[in-house]
Chains A and B, each alone.
Chain A
Amino acid sequence: MTAALEIDGLTVGYGGAPVLRDVRLDVPHGRIVALVGANGAGKTTLLRTASGLVPAARGTVRLDGDDLAGVSVEDRSRRGLAHVPEGRGVVVELTVEENLRLGALWRSPAERRAAIADAYELFEPLARRRTSPGHQLSGGERQMLALARALVAAPGVLLLDEPSLGLAPRVVAQIMAVLRRLCDATGLTVLLAEQNVASALSVADHGVVLGLGEVVASRPAAELLHDTTLRHAYLGF
């Protein structure tokens, strides 16, 4: 069966310096794959390349079997590839409600209303702040909003970059729990890039370790979590 997202032989460089080398990974439907590695390993570049923001020097990115070469960032999004960037990417000048409407622009009005109502149910703190501009939200609320905005688009695949960055452990646990629940309930597929390795692997089905732009391990998440040699060598704990 075709994976929801297939990355094959991906090589990316900035100004001639390679950041990713011949990366290959599959994200099966309805699964969470954690992409872990030290700072500078190339996790963010991999996600940005998959969503089309960074051009690939070589290799392919396939969404449900379709090669995305030549497909614009905007069209990748409209085809169901959602990307929540590092730093959360909330449009801070817009209100919570407007951010959510922006995420659901390509759905019918009825679907949009239902999806936004679901998002408020899933992230209850946002419901109380629907008219607040993004810059008035806490870090945790912004992360919830960024995630909710991606979800209201009903994506097939969600690329999630460092959702735990700067958040309290309790908030991180809440967000990870929501992700797990959504995958199990709706079949959402997630590629989760994280420096918080323990947190990411505890929620993921599968883990991929990046080291200096190369895949150094790809195994079930539970195995990776307990591989002390790999943890010491590449993950720093």
Chain B
Amino acid sequence: MDRLVFLLGTGLARGAVLALFALSLVLVWRAARVVNFAQGAMAVTATYVAFVVTGLTGSFVMGLVAALVAGAALGWAVERGLMRRIAGRSPLAGVIVAVGLVMILQSALGILVGGRTLPVEAPFDETPISVGGVPLLSPYDLFVLVAALVVMAGLGLLFTRTPLGLQMRAAAFAPEVSRILGVRVSRLLTLGWALSSAVAALAAVLLVPTELGLTPHATDMLFVLGFTVAVVGGLDSPVGALVGGVGVGVLISLVTGYLGASVAPLAVLVLLVVVLLVRPQGLLAVGEARRA
């Protein structure tokens, strides 16, 4: 029982990071109808910025803020410099550009920092706190959970309670109608990319200290799992990203704990296949509305 509680706790913390990353993919998909295959590479680039700034200032918070700014700037640049130029073309064009961007970013990072793994320490203790003899979450897990929840709640408030969020939702669902209502759809698209990339950067910065270290490929698995979460939850659904992230995080944790780490990817794959067979649009997809 103690083990189950511990695995559930760590699964929740890992799931929160996956949910954040999946949310970043959902934000771009809703705004631009592009699966941003470069999201992981952009996030790891921002994480390198965090690593450098943390090293220079000695402050994890400064590094985190720098990563958010770098992530947002990358998102802005990618939308303005690349994606805007191929808007309206085949959906494959966006995928090809994103895959090309992955190669460019990861190669550039490889050239700049070499193939070595940089050690990244968590800013808080990673030893689980025991309550009544039962090991629960570590202080760092708690920090990750709280940070993810705060960001998700903030995004929820932004989209549901502010005029800007209302415009962003309208622009994503009905760009032409939004334009004739005076909404500057093009600017909001750029903002959506910047916001999405900042969220992905946050997910990467939170994840890397729990992994083996920082390399240009440190977020490859995060992208694969985050994409799986987004598909399972529904690419159109922010709530789906949240629920899917927690579900996949807990699944990975339980399978790793009881069956071994090598079985975890298989379990995630099985989940993905089952969801695609039973409900291909995702568990919490909202696509029905537009077809109505």
Contacts and interface: CB of A to CB of B under 8 A. Distances in A.
Interface string B168-199: 01100110111111111100000000000000
Interface in A108-147: 133-136
Interface string B97-132: 000000000000000000000000000000000000
A136 B288 CA distance: 11
Contacts of A73: 179-180
Given A105-B163, A135-B292, A91 B170 contact: yes
Interface in A74-110: 74-75, 77-78, 82-83, 85, 89-94, 98, 101-103, 105-106
Contacts of A75: 182
Contact of A102 (B170, B184, B185, B288): B170
A92 B170 contact: no
B166 A93 contact: no
A207 to B, nearest CB: 25
A105 B178 CA distance: 11
Contacts of B182: 74-75, 77-78, 105-106, 153
A51 interface: yes
A74 B167 CA distance: 13
A149 interface: yes
Nearest to A75: B182
Given A53-B176, A98-B166, A102-B167, A93 B181 contact: no
B209 to A, nearest CB: 38
Given A53-B176, A53-B180, A74-B179, A101 B166 contact: yes
Given A78-B182, A105-B163, A149-B181, A92 B176 contact: no
B132 to A, nearest CB: 45
Interface in A143-195: 149, 153
Interface string A194-235: 000000000000000000000000000000000000000000
Contacts of A153: 181-182
Contacts of B166: 94, 98, 101-102, 105
In the complex, which range does the number of interface residues on chain A fall in?
20 to 34
A218 B210 CA distance: 74
Contact of B174 (A53, A89, A136): A89
A92 B289 contact: yes
Nearest to B173: A93
B167 A105 contact: yes
Nearest to A88: B177
A77 B179 CA distance: 8
Interface of B: 163, 166-167, 169-170, 173-174, 176-185, 286, 288-290, 292
Interface of A: 51, 53, 73-75, 77-78, 82-83, 85, 89-94, 98, 101-103, 105-106, 133-136, 149, 153
20 contacts: A73-B179, A74-B183, A74-B184, A77-B180, A85-B176, A85-B180, A89-B177, A91-B177, A92-B173, A92-B174, A93-B169, A93-B173, A93-B290, A98-B166, A98-B169, A101-B163, A105-B181, A134-B289, A135-B292, A153-B182
In the A-B complex, the 7 residue pairs with the smallest Cβ-Cβ separation, listed nearest first, are A135-B292, A77-B182, A89-B177, A135-B289, A73-B179, A83-B180, A78-B182
